[in-house]
Chain A
C-alpha cells in the first residue's frame, strides 16, 4: 500500500447514539486500518516522535512490529517504557506530545501514534497474558499512596523488579482521576481494570478505603517496615469561582459532578447516588475537565448544554478532538464571557450573569490575556451550573506528615530525584506539579521507582 499524506480516518460512534449512552465514542482502528496507518510511518532515524513522548516509547520500533503483524513484540516494546498503553493511547494529548514533531506532519497529518498504541493494547487484551517471571523477589517493600497513574506506574516498575508493593487508596475504587474524573465514553472502565489487573497479577497488594493522614500516618508506614514510601495523591480539590450565588442548588464543582457520574455511576438507573441535571446546563471553563463535564451532562439531559469560556476559541486549552466531539454532540461553546454572579430563586440557580471580555495584546504562557469590556453584562439561563476552572492540592496534605515540606502552592517539594524532605519518601504526579497529564504522572511515578531501585542497590552493595 502506498503511504499517504492523510491519516486513516478514525471511526466514531454516531452522534445520535452518543446522546444517551456512555459507550466509548472513539471506536479505534481495526486490523486493516492499523496496518495502513502504521505503513505511513517513515521510520525516521532520529525519532523526533520519541523525543516528545514523556516516557520515550520507541515509537517507530513498535509501529514496525504492527506492520510485521507481530503485536506481541509491539506490546513488549511499548511495555518497556509504559505499562498503560490502553489508557495513554486514549487520553494522552498526542498533538502536544509525540505527534507534535512527527515528520509526516510536514506534508499532511502526523501518524496517529496514540491510536496505534491503543490498537496494540486492545488487540493483546484477550490473548492469554503471560506474566513475565519476576526477577528474584527481594525483601524490599514499598508503600504507595494513592492509585492514580503516578502511583500505578511507580508500583508497576517496582513489581517488575521484585519489590513488594502495598498500595493505599482513599476511595473504594482504583485509578484516581482515571476512575472518578475521566468519563467512560473516553476511557472505558474495562481498560482501566485490565491494566490494574495486570499489576495485581504481578503481586500488588491493595488497601482500599485507606486515607493516609487519617487511617494511618506516613511516619507509621515507615516505622512499620516499609523501606520507601511513594506519595501520589494528586491535586484533587476543586477551585471555586468565589462569586455570589455559587452555593445555590444546581451549582456543582466539576469534581462533584464527575464523581457522581463516573465513580458513583449516577447515570445508571440502578445506582443509589442521585444527581440533578436540568434543562439549561452551563459548564464554566475551557479545559479537558470542562469538556468532560459538558459531554457527560449532554448524556443526562435533552436540554441545552453550553460551555462558557473567558478567553477566545483560539485560547481554549482542551484538545481539539474533544472540542469537535462536543460540537458534534450539540454542545454550544460561548467565549469571552467571565462569570460574575449566579442568580437564583428559592435556593436554586436560575441564571448566570457574565462580564463580556475582550482580548488584549498581551500574552501569558503563549495565550492572549483578556480584560473586561465596556459591553453590558450577559445573562444566560441556567438551572445547572458546573464549575470546571481547575484543581489544587487537598489541604488534608498537612495531615499526612507534619515534616513533609510543601511549596507555596501546597504541592510537595521534591528534588530532581523525586525525593521529598523526608528520607526515603518520594512523590510524583499532580501532587508535585499541580494539575498536569496522565503521562507526565506516569513518567514521574516510574522515575521515582527507578530512583528507589538505584538507592536500594546502593544500600545492598555497600
Chain B
C-alpha cells in the first residue's frame, strides 16, 4: 500500500500524484511502475515522472482514458494505492551529442521530461503537440530544458495548427541533428520515425504496448525490433525507433478497443 502525499490536477483530465514509496530509492529516469487500485482491478503501467530519494517519494502524471486511470483519479491525499510495483524497465541511456531534437505528443511529455534529465547536448530543440490548448501540460518545465520550442495544436487553439510531424522534414533539412527523441501516442512516434528514417537520424522512442505483469512473465508487451521479438517491459521501454515495427504495434494496441472485453459476459 502506498500513501498519496500530494495531488494536483494539471488540467481537467490530467492528474499528478506524489506517492510515498521505497521505489524512490532505486528508480532512474525512464523507468515505470505497475499499479493496481482495487480488488479485481487491472494492472497498468505509468512512467515515474520525478522522485526524491531524500523524501522517499515518486511522482506520477496520468491522463484519464479508461477504467483504471479513472479509478486512480478518484483517490485523494491520504488514500493509498493498493499495489505499486517498480521501478520497471531499463533506465534511459544518456545522450551527449551536439544537437538533439525532442518531439513530444500528448502525455508523451511525461516520459520526455524524464528523458531530458539525461540529455546533455549543446542544443536541444523541441516540438510539442497536443489536441487543443487545454491539453498542454508541463509547458514551463519543457521550456526550461529546450531552447527552440514549437508548439502544435490539432485545432489551432494555441501555437501552430496541425501535428508535430508537420514541419519535421523541413527542420531536418535545414538543420543537422545528431539524435531525435520522439515520445507520444504510437501513431505519432510512427509518423516521426517515417520522416527521421529518410534522414537516417537515430531516433529514440519509448514504447507503450499493453502490459499485464511488467516483469517479463507474460509476453503480452512483445514488439518486433530489428525483426526480433522483444518484451517492452524488460527489454525497453526505450528502443531505437528506426528498427521498430510500428504497424504491428499499432494493431496490437487496439486489441481491446476493437473486440473489447469478449468473454461471453455483457461488459
A residues engaging B (CB < 8 A)?
Answer: 20, 170-172, 180, 208-211, 214-216, 236-238, 240, 242, 246-250, 252-253, 255-256, 259-260, 264-278, 300-302, 346-348, 394-396
Contacts and interface: CB of A to CB of B under 8 A. Distances in A.
B218 A276 contact: no
30 contacts: A170-B215, A172-B43, A211-B85, A214-B26, A215-B22, A215-B26, A215-B87, A236-B217, A238-B217, A240-B219, A240-B222, A247-B222, A247-B224, A249-B252, A250-B255, A252-B220, A253-B218, A259-B212, A264-B42, A274-B261, A276-B255, A276-B256, A276-B259, A276-B260, A277-B264, A300-B263, A347-B248, A347-B252, A394-B234, A395-B216
Interface residues of B, number: 47
B263 A267 contact: yes
B173 interface: no
Contacts, number: 139
B40 A396 contact: no
Contacts of B67: 272
Given A172-B36, A273-B212, A348-B258, 17 more contacts: A170-B85, A172-B82, A180-B217, A211-B85, A215-B85, A215-B87, A238-B218, A238-B219, A240-B222, A247-B248, A260-B212, A265-B40, A270-B40, A271-B40, A276-B255, A277-B263, A395-B235
Contacts of B36: 172
B85 A172 contact: yes
Contacts of A256: 212, 218-220
B174 to A, nearest CB: 37
B83 interface: yes
Given A247-B252, A272-B41, A347-B254, A396 B216 contact: yes
B183 to A, nearest CB: 22
Interface of B: 22-23, 26, 36, 38, 40-43, 67-68, 82-88, 212-213, 215-220, 222, 224, 229, 234-235, 248, 251-252, 254-256, 258-267
A19 to B, nearest CB: 10
A184 B216 CA distance: 23
A396 B217 CA distance: 10
A431 to B, nearest CB: 13
B72 to A, nearest CB: 12
Contacts of B248: 247, 347
A171 B213 contact: yes
Given A214-B86, A301-B264, A237 B42 contact: no
B229 A240 contact: yes
Nearest to B234: A396
B126 to A, nearest CB: 30
A216 B25 CA distance: 9
A211 B219 contact: no
A183 to B, nearest CB: 14
A256 B83 CA distance: 19
Contacts of A247: 222, 224, 229, 248, 252
A269 B265 contact: yes
Contacts of B263: 266-267, 275-277, 300-301
Contact of B83 (A209, A216, A255, A273): A209
Contacts of B40: 265, 268, 270-272
Q: Closest 10 interchain pairs by CB?
A: A347-B251, A256-B218, A253-B219, A272-B42, A274-B261, A209-B85, A172-B83, A236-B217, A256-B220, A274-B256
Contacts of A172: 36, 43, 82-83, 85
A246 to B, nearest CB: 8
